[in-house]
Homo-oligomer: A and B are copies of this chain.
């Protein structure tokens, strides 16, 4: 991963509404959630939510598909994992004692 890609992804997550949206989608699984459901669960007005979803989409952290008049958003686990791998790359100066296993999503 390039550093600009990582900065863009981190910036996309570094805002309370966007982070809340992303976490809901991470928890929702591949079924995803419609924009309207996200807005209602989080109390975010349509224009604001759309602005933030655009940011998450541009950072490739979420994907969307259209179903009728709904737009369904899903988290990109692949992109999240790449970001986490980038943060932890070659960590701990090779001291594997500090690197216990953790779940991958």
Question: Using a CB–CB distance below 8 Å, which chain A residues touch chain B?
Answer: 3-4, 6-7, 10-11, 13-16, 19-20, 22-23, 26-31, 75, 77, 80-81, 84-95, 98-105
With a cutoff of 8 Å between Cβ atoms, the chain B residues found around residue A6 in the complex are 19
Known contacts A22-B87, A23-B87, then 4 further A-B pairs from the complex at CB < 8 Å, ordered by chain A residue: A27-B90, A27-B93, A75-B91, A99-B103
Copies of this protein in the complex? 2
A92 pairs with B29, CB closer than 8 A:
yes
Q: How far is the CA of A20 from the CA of B11 in the complex (A)?
A: 15
With contacts A13-B10, A31-B93 known, is A98 near B88, CB below 8 A? no
Q: How far is the CA of A14 from the CA of B15 in the complex (A)?
A: 11
With a cutoff of 8 Å between Cβ atoms, the chain B residues found around residue A88 in the complex are 26, 80, 84, 103, 105
